[in-house]
Amino acid sequence: MVTAFVLIKTDASRIPETAEEISAIQGISEVYSVTGEWDLIAIARVPKHDDLADVIADKLSKVAGVVHTTTQIAFRAYSQHDLDAAFALGFEQ
């Protein structure tokens, strides 16, 4: 699984609509409105690196209201929360 964080600048008048449209794209797992330099951050999770081009370049970047994007590809995940959840699968507490 490949995970990428997409930092998105949008037309300020369309932030909620743009976020909704992006969240409907297959391969986008989450979209957050944020403070600071960027308006939205989307998390893309796809099976293969090549699939990022389909999700980000071919779909996300063409959503009405998207002005600019920057993509950061994750190498490793270090979240203890995620690790605890993965090892707890199948065990009742």
What is the tens place of the pLDDT at every residue in 49-72? Answer: 999 999 999 999 999 999 999 999
Q: Would the CA dihedral through 48, 74, 61, 12 be positive or negative?
A: positive
Residue predicted with more confidence, 72 or 88: 72
**pTM score, two decimals?**
0.83
pLDDT at 76: 87
- Multiple choice CATH, 2-87, 3.40.50.300, 3.30.70.1400, 3.30.70.920, 3.60.15.10: 3.30.70.920
In DSSP terms, which residues pair with 30 in a beta bridge?
43
Report domain extents, the chain: 2-87
Q: Is 17 exposed, middle or buried (0-12, 13-18, 19+ CB in 10 A)?
A: middle
**Burial track 55-73 (b if 16+ CB lie within 10 A, e otherwise):** bbeebbbebebbeebebee
